[in-house]
Amino acid sequence: MRSMIYGVVVAVGTTACSSVGSAQVTPPVPQPIPATVSPVSSPVLVGTWDAITRSYGGIGSTILFSEDSLFALVLGAMVEMKYKVNGEEITFSSEEHGQKFSETQKLTFIGDTAVISVKKCSIKLIPLEKGTVAGSTVGKWRLMHMTGVPAYEEYSPDGVTRLRVPMQVQKGKYSVRGDTIAFHTITPRSEDWSAQFRLTSDTLTVSNAIGQHRYLRAHPLIPLDVQQPAPPAGMLCRP
């Protein structure tokens, strides 16, 4: 699965639309926003939300809400896998849609940078946070994906890794009034739209003219200052 997303990133990054304004993988439908909506955020929404439903190729979206009423909608590859480190080897494994996947790669460290290599490809993982334990993959990392697109990955102590490869980014400001979120998109273009939401425990349901979409509260990984990546020109190398 980890290798399969290389081609998916290229395909989506070069053909998909420039807006990710709805909850999953479809473009937004602008809705009228009442003039009385106050420009305030909602504490219950602040944080990171990952789409529950994704495409067969692992494409989905992440919503980031900040305390100061900023938001980012990120469409990209979303992969969760198990991993196990054995000396200078790291093995990734998963089972999805009835298919099992396992791949062992070489793992080395240069200072606080982790390097994962397979065949002729090497990826450098740069720590996103201070305090990363030397010689350990546990933590959050920034890397350059094989397609030349910046990506983010987290390795948890319980042997699970999350990989996020942003392909399209929409950013702006949001406000909440009752059960309605009003979005004012600033980049990639100015646009106003709104959606209703419902929060049940750690599940956020967003509804608009397209339908209902569900998100699960997640540990922060993609930073709020994420930028729209340039379209992938092709593989930097092929595993």
Same domain, 47 and 70: yes
Task: For residue 141, tell me if it sits in a domain.
Answer: yes
CATH number at residue 33: 2.40.128.280
Same domain, 197 and 125: no
Task: For residue 200, tell me if it sits in a domain.
Answer: yes
Same domain, 107 and 123: yes
Task: For residue 227, tell me if it sits in a domain.
Answer: no
Same domain, 89 and 157: yes
Q: Which domain holds residue 48?
A: 5-76+172-218
| The total number of structural domains that make up the chain | 2
Same domain, 72 and 176: yes
For the record, the structure tokens of 234 come out as: 């092709």
Burial 15-54 (b: 16+ CB within 10 A, else e): ebeebbbbbbbbebeeeebeeebeeebbeebebbbbbeeb
Q: Over pLDDT 70: what percentage of the chain?
A: 80
Same domain, 69 and 187: yes
Q: What mean pLDDT comes out for the span 4-19?
A: 43
Each residue of 76-122: pLDDT tens digit?
A: 999 999 999 999 999 999 987 778 989 999 999 999 999 999 877 88
Instruction: Give residue 59's pLDDT.
Output: 93
Same domain, 64 and 176: yes
Same domain, 157 and 112: yes
Task: For residue 159, tell me if it sits in a domain.
Answer: yes
Q: What mean pLDDT comes out for the span 21-50?
A: 57
What distance in Å separates the CA atoms of residue 141 and residue 151, rounded to the nearest whole number?
8
